Every structure is written in C-alpha cells, then in structure tokens.
Amino acid sequence: MSSASHSRRGFLTTTTAAASALALPASAEAIGANERLNIGLIGTGGRCRHLMQALAKVPNTRMMALCDVYEPHMEQAQKLADPKATTYRDYHELLRNKDVHAVLIASPDHWHVPMTIDAMAAGKDVYVEKPLTHKLEEGRRILDAQAKHRKIVQVGTQQRSMTHIIRAKELVAAGRLGAVHKVHLTWNRNSDRVRRGPQNVDQKRLDWKRFLGNAPEQPFDDYKFRNWRWFWDFGNGILTDLMVHWIDVAHWILDLQSPVRAVSIGSFNTAQGVWQTPDTIQTLLTYRRRQPGADADSDLQVYFEGTFCNAYRGAMITFMGSQATLYVDRGRFELIPEPRFQHKPEEMILGTGPRGRDFYDRPDGELLHLTNWVDSIRNNRQPSAPISAGVTAAAAAHLGNEAYRQNRVAEQK
C-alpha cells in the first residue's frame, strides 16, 4: 500500500473519533440575543455579497469589516455593509480587530482552511463557505485547531438548516423508505461561463500574489481569477464545488462517514483547453453501511452526475429505498411509495417551485443557515453544519477526484 493510502486511512479512520471527542465550543464571553454581533467578511466576491444580503436580515448583526485582495469587490460589498465598515487587504489585520466577534469567509477554496484556523486562533467564530478543505490532509489540521481553540464554525452547506430537508431526514430515520441501497445525486447546468475573453479585471487594483497564497507562483491570469473553481491550484471542480452539497446531505441523513472506494469518469464537452477540471463528470462512491435491523454491513451505492452542458434534473438528491423513494431538492421533497406500499397523503409532497433549481426564495437557505450560525454563537452550541461534517463531505469529493485524475479505482482501505 502506498504512503498516500496509509495517510488517507489514518486520517479518515480518526476523523469521527476526533470530531466526537470535541467539547462544545467555549466562547470567552457569550453574546446575548439583544447584543449586536459584529461580523467581518473575508473574500467579498459574488458569493459573499449574495450571503451579505441574507445576513442583513439576521437581527442584531453588523457587517463592520471587509477584506479582499481586489478593491472593486470591496467597493461593491461596502454598499451592503455598515456605512462605517473598515476595509482591509490583509485578512490578518481584520482578525486583529478586537471589535470583530465573528467572520464570514467566502474566499477561493485554497484559502478556506488557513483563514479558518487563523480566525479561530484570533478568538473569532467562523462561517466558512464549502468545500471546507482544498486538500485531504487539511482535514486533520482544522479538526485539531478546533479542538484547541473551541470556536463555533459553520460550514456553508445550507441544506442542513432547511426545514423541509430536516423533515426528510426524519422520514428516513422513521424507516419510511425501508432499506436504502442506492442514492442518486445530480448538479447539472447549461452555462456559457466556460468562454474565454475579456474578464473585466483591473490588474492594478488586484493583489495577485496575495490571491495566490499557498498556490504555486504563476503569472496573472484574469480568467483564472474569475473562474478559479475550475483550476486545481485554487479549487477542485464540480465535485467539491457542487457534489459536496448533496454528498453532505447523504452523509447527514444516512449517518455515513466516508466511502470505501470511488470510480470517476470525466470529460470536456464545452471547456476543452479552458478548464483544468472536467465540465462533465460522473462518480460512483461505495459506502459500507449497516441497514436498520440488519446483522451485517452491506454496500450502499452513491452515484453523482454533474455537467455544464445540459441542465436536465438540475440539482437534486434521490434516496432509493425498498419501500419508497425520497426526492429532495432545495425547494421541496417528494415521498414516492413503491407500488406495494402506501403513505399518508400529507407526506407525499412538501414545497413548491420548479424542480432542481440552484436557489429558492422559499425556503431561503442562506438566511436559515446564517441564522442558525448566529443563534449557535449566542447560545454557545454546535451549528447545524459543523467542521466534522465539512471534513467528511470534502473528503468524499477528494476521493472522487483522485479516481478521475489517476484513472483508477481509488480505495479507502
């Protein structure tokens, strides 16, 4: 067995134990419900500004500090923040601001773990966008950091705070699906974002070296700056950007930890010569799981398909059980009985709207998830998407990417 396999086995077999051994977060001084929570925002690009619109609706919060390596992003974020918000180019300076109680991190993926660890060390609670890790080995580092600093960290997999998905989890726990042996995940889009061309980036107002961070040194590339998710130095493609959302739901609802093997097929249909990561990918993850009432473990197949050249099915997860199938997207769930079984009518469908959309106004997932984070800080309790969940979800995506990049079955032994 290779040293990499040994490393993965050692990490993944201790992740659960390390997470369960963590005490509840311990803030130096709890912030009451009527006290204002001062929040700093690190990485104020489009995703951050989308979250800021939801955060503005959370009572008794103030967005009072902003940090970004690109000045135009900060200028746009200033329109959404407190009028007197302080701006920074170096996030370490923001973390030294004693008036900041917590930070929201929406930087490129390769910055997530370094920034989160530094924020915890500075005494800040954290909301960090998914995927939590950019590399597998970062999982151990961030778990160790939370065990040391005991801060509240919410990973941005907002499905865990959506009430209809919580209800879906309850139905599965109640045995309404019977034995679940297969799960199907999709995140399909039809997008022209793969096109190269002028990216409207003012290089004079960008600190490219600071953007690179721990990535290899390389010349400025405006397309990479705008589309970093599809380049291995900064992101890990569709699996960590999109699949990680639904794989986290599968882990949460079925109480899974990590797959034992992965097989992936990736191709380029629209982004050949533009992206490093495939624009179309299929991944089959195999888990070992003890079904309720069973005497031995059995295989569970979790299959993901994602593409940027066709939007059929959109974004959804389907749990296929012996008694029923459960369809879930970000706006609804449907319980579809097998022909031999019947269910109560009120459990058949919950939610409205087109199937498989990326976002819904009802429910507003970002608002629910940010509210859960703020409530967790005020009540000194673990949030709905803790670090341990972010580590295992990202690890599954990393295994799928390993299978693709090495063109082999990637195994966890």
Tell me the CB-side half-sphere exposure of residue 214, using CA atoms within 13 A: 13
pLDDT of residue 29: 60
Helices (H), 153-286: 163-173, 208-212, 222-226, 237-238, 244-254
> If we measure between CA atoms, which residue out of 280, 309, 267, 274 comes closest to residue 196?
274
**Is the domain defined by 3-160+367-385 classed in CATH 3.40.50.720?**
yes
Q: What is the pLDDT of residues 213-244, one digit of tens each?
A: 999 999 999 999 999 999 999 999 999 999 99
Distance CA 221, CA 215 (A): 14
- Which residues, 6+ apart, have CB-to-CB distance to 4 below 8 Å? none
Q: Compute the 3-state secondary structure of the chain and give helix, strand, coil in percent, each to the nearest 5.
A: 35, 20, 40
The number of residues in the chain equals: 413
Conformation bin of residue 197: beta by default, left when phi > 0, alpha when psi is -120 to 50: left
In this structure, how many other beta carbons lie within 10 angstroms of the beta carbon of residue 80? 19
Burial class of residue 154 (count of CB atoms within 10 Å of its CB; 0-12, 13-18, 19+): buried
pLDDT tens column, 291-304: 887 888 999 999 99
Residue 350 vs residues 73, 263, 354, 363: alpha-carbon distances, Å: 38, 34, 13, 11
Give the model confidence (pLDDT) of 111-152 as tens digits. 999 999 999 999 999 999 999 999 999 999 999 999 999 999
Candidates 87, 84, 95; CA nearest to 117 is 95
Contact 126, 105 (CB under 8 A): yes
Q: With b meaning 16 or more CB within 10 Å and e meaning fewer, what string describes 32-53?
A: eeeeebbbbbbbbbeebbebbe
**pLDDT one-digit tens code per residue, 389-411:** 999 999 999 999 999 999 999 99
Domains 3-160+367-385 and 162-361+396-411 share a fold: no
The domain spans of the chain are: 3-160+367-385, 162-361+396-411
Q: Which CATH number does 162-361+396-411 carry?
A: 3.30.360.10
Sign of CA dihedral 91, 92, 93, 94: positive
- Over residues 244-267, the pLDDT tens digits come to 999 999 999 999 999 999 999 999
- Residue 8's pLDDT is 57
DSSP line for 369-401: HHHHHHHHHHHT---SS-HHHHHHHHHHHHHHH
Q: What was the pLDDT predicted at 7?
A: 54
Report, as an integer, the average pLDDT of 61-66.
98
**Cβ–Cβ < 8 Å for 390, 406:** no
Per-residue pLDDT band for 20 (boundaries 50, 70, 90) equals very low
- Model pTM score: 0.93
Q: How many of the other CB atoms lie within 10 Å of CB of 217?
A: 7
